[in-house]
Structure 1
Amino acid sequence: MPTARRIAHEFLERRGLTTIFGNPGSNELPFLAELPEGFRYVLGLHEGVVVGMADGYAQATGRPVLVNLHAAAGSGNAMGALTNAVSSRSPLVLTAGQQVRSAIGLEAMLANVEATQLMRPLVGWAGEPSCAADVPRSLAQAVFEAELQRRPTYLSVPYDDWSAELDANAALTLDRSVQRASGPDEAQLRELAQELEAARNPVLVLGADLDTAGLFDRAVAFAEHRQLPVWVAPSPHRLPFPNRHPLFRGVLPAGIGAVSDAVAGHDLVLVLGAPVFRYHQHVPGPYLPEGTRLVQITDDAGAAARAPMGRALVADPGPVLASLLTRLPAVPGGDREFVPNPEPATAEGALHPEQVFAALRETQPADTCYVVESTSTNSAWWRQMDLRRPGSYFFPAAGGLGFGLPAAVGMAMGLEGRPVVGVIGDGSANYGITALWTAAQYRVPVTFVVLRNGTYGALRWFGSVLGTPDVPGTEIPGLDFTAIAAGYGVPATAVTELDDLRAQLKTTAAGPRLIQVDTAETTP
Structure 2
Amino acid sequence: MKTIHQACYDILRTQGLTTFFGNPGSNELPFLNDFPGDFRYILGLHEGAVVGMADGYAQASGRTTLVNLHSAAGTGNAMGALANAWNSHTPLVVTAGQQVRAMVGVEALLANVDATTLPRPLVKWSCEPACAQDVPLALSRAIHTAGTGAKGPVYLSVPYDDWKQQAASGVDHLAGRRVGVAGLPSASAIESLARELEQAKHPVMILGPDVDASAANDFAVAIAEKLAMPVWMAPSAPRCAFPTTHPCFQGLLPAGIASISGLLEGHDLVLVVGAPVFRYHQYEPGEFLPPGARLIAITCDINEATRAPMGDALVADIASTLEALSRAVSSANRAMPAPRRRPGPAPEEAGPLAPERVFDILDDMAPRDAIYVNESTSTTNLMWQRLRMTEQGSYYFAAAGGLGFALPAAVGIQLAKPERRVIGVIGDGSANYGIQALWTAAHYDIPAIFIIMKNGTYGALRWFAGVLHADGVPGLDVPGIDFCSLARGYGVEALHADSGASLTAALRRALDGNKPVLIEVETRA
Taking structure 1 as the reference length, what is the TM-score of the superposition?
A: 0.97
Counterpart-to-counterpart distance in 2, 1:92 and 1:76: 16
Judge conservation of contact 1:244–1:339 (CA < 8 Å) in 2: no
1:321 alignment counterpart: 322
CA distance in 2 between partners of 1:403 and 1:353 (Å): 20
Letter in 2 for 1:298: T
Of the candidates 408, 414, 417, which is equivalent to residue 415 of structure 1? 417
Please name the residue that 1:44 is paired with.
Answer: 44
CA distance in 1, matches of 2:520, 2:104: 48
Per-residue Cα deviation, 1:331-372 (whole angstroms, up to 9, x for no partner): 355489996552125655210011111111111110000101
Q: Give the match for residue 509 of structure 1.
A: 513
Distance 1:395 1:345 in 2: 27
The 5 Å alignment of 1:124-163 reads 124-148=124-148, 149-163=150-164
Q: 2:423·2:449 contact (CA, 8 Å) conserved in 1?
A: yes
Given the alignment, which residue of 431, 440, 450 partners 1:448?
450
SS of the equivalent of 2:426 reads strand
- Picking from 498, 520, 524, the partner of 1:520 is 524
Rate the CA distance shift 1:345–1:263 in 2: closer, same or farther, 3 A. farther
Q: What CA distance in whole angstroms lies between the structure 1 residues aligned with 2:524 and 2:211?
A: 34
| Mean CA deviation greater in 489-498 or 374-383 | 374-383
Return structure 1 stretches of 4+ with deviation > 3 angstroms.
332-341, 345-348
Q: Is the 8 A contact 2:53 2:412 kept in 1?
A: yes
In the other structure, the counterpart of 2:55 is 55
Q: SS where residue 24 of structure 2 aligns? A: coil
CA deviations on 1:111-155 (whole Å, 9 max, x unpaired) are 111111111111110001111111111111111110124010000
User: Secondary structure of 2:475's partner?
Assistant: coil
State whether residues 299 and 317 of structure 1, in contact with CA within 8 Å, keep that contact through their aligned partners in structure 2: yes
Cα distance, 1:35 vs structure 2? 1.8
Name which of structure 1's ranges 184-193 and 446-455 shifts more when overlaid on structure 2: 184-193
Is 1:259 aligned to 2:263, yes or no? no
The answer as to 2:17 corresponding to 1:13 is: no
In 2, the alpha carbon distance for the partners of 1:125 and 1:345 equals 52
Tell me the equivalent position of 1:483.
Answer: 485
Q: How far apart are 1:9 and its partner, in Å?
A: 0.7
Structure 1 residue identity aligned to 2:246: H
| Structure 2 counterpart of 1:494, from 483, 493, 496 | 496
Deviations along 1:15-52, one digit per CA (max 9) or x if unpaired, are: 11000000000000000011211101000000000000
Alpha-carbon contact 2:100-2:160 (below 8 Å) kept: yes
> Is the contact made by 2:353 and 2:498 (CA closer than 8 Å) also made in structure 1?
yes
Aligned to 1:349: 351
- 2:77 maps to 1:77: yes
3-state SS in 1 of match to 2:190: helix
Q: Give, in angstroms, the shift of residue 323 of structure 1.
A: 2.6
Report the secondary structure of 2:279's partner residue: coil
Aligned pairs for 1:345-424 within 5 A: 349-424=351-426
Q: Is contact 2:350–2:499 with CA below 8 Å preserved after alignment? A: no
2:245 is paired with a residue whose SS is coil
1:119 maps to 119
Following the alignment from structure 1 to structure 2, what is the Cα–Cα distance between the partners of residues 189 and 384? 36
1:242 equivalent to 2:243? Answer yes
Structure 2 Cα separation of the partners of residues 122 and 336 of structure 1: 41
Equivalent residue of 2:278, what SS? coil
For residues 287 and 362 of structure 1, what CA distance do their matches in structure 2 show?
Answer: 39
Q: Which residue of 2 aligns with 1:229?
A: 230
- Whole-angstrom CA distance in 2 between matches of 1:127 and 1:320: 33
In 2, the alpha carbon distance for the partners of 1:124 and 1:443 equals: 33
Residue in structure 2 matched with residue 197 of structure 1 by the alignment: 198
Kept in 2, the 8 Å contact 1:211–1:239? The answer is: yes
Instruction: Give the partner amino acid of 2:304.
Output: A
Q: Structure 1's 283 and 330: CA in aligned 2 closer, same or farther, altered over 3 A?
A: same
Q: Summarize deviations over 1:232-281 as a string: whole Å, max 9, x none.
A: 11110000111122111111110011110010000110111111000001
Secondary structure at the counterpart of residue 350 of structure 1: coil
Q: Is the 8 Å Cα contact of residues 245 and 338 (structure 1) preserved in structure 2?
A: no
The answer to whether the 8 Å contact 2:252/2:381 transfers is: no
Distance 1:337 1:122, change over 3 A: closer
RMSD: 1.4
Contact preservation (8 Å) 1:453, 1:520: yes
Aligned partner of residue 297 in structure 2, secondary structure: strand
Paired amino acid for 1:259: I
Counterpart of 1:184 in structure 2 is 185
Query: How far off is 1:185 after superposition?
Result: 1.0
1:99 corresponds in structure 2 to 99
Distance 1:355 1:387 in 2: 17
- Alignment correspondent of 2:88: 88
Which consecutive residues of structure 1, in runs of 5 or more, have no partner in the other structure? none
The answer to whether the 8 Å contact 2:15/2:176 transfers is no
Residue 296 of structure 1 is matched in structure 2 by 297
Q: CA deviation at 1:99?
A: 0.5
Change (3 A) 1:393 1:453: same
1:330 Cα shift?
1.3
2:34 matches 1:34: yes
Describe the SS at the equivalent of 2:49: helix
Report the number of matched residues.
Answer: 521
Q: Which amino acid aligns with 1:224?
A: E
Q: Distance in 2 between matches of 1:73 and 1:89?
A: 24
Question: Please, what TM-score do these two structures have when normalized by structure 2?
Answer: 0.97
Q: Counterpart of 1:182 in structure 2: which amino acid? A: G
Distance in 2 (alpha carbons) for counterparts of 1:36 and 1:62 = 24
| C-alpha distance in structure 2 between counterparts of 1:132 and 1:61, whole Å | 32
Q: Equivalents in 2 of 1:378, 1:4: separation in Å?
A: 47
Residue in 2 aligned with 1:309? 310
Give yes or no for contact 1:486–1:492 (8 Å, CA) kept in 2: yes
- Provide Cα deviations, 1:299-349, integer angstroms capped at 9, x if missing partner: 111100000000111112323322332222213554899965521256552
The percentage of aligned residue pairs carrying the same residue is 53
Is the 2:454–2:523 contact (alpha carbons within 8 Å) kept by the matching residues of 1?
A: yes
- Code of the residue aligned with 2:329 in structure 1: it is L
- Unaligned ranges ≥5, structure 2: none
Q: State the distance in 2 between where 1:194 and 1:444 align.
A: 49
In the aligned structure 1, how far is the partner of 2:7 from the partner of 2:347?
A: 59
Rounded to whole Å, the distance in 1 between the matches of 2:347 and 2:401 is: 26
SS in 1 for 2:445: coil
> What is the rounded CA distance, in whole Å, between the counterparts of 1:395 and 1:389 in structure 2?
16
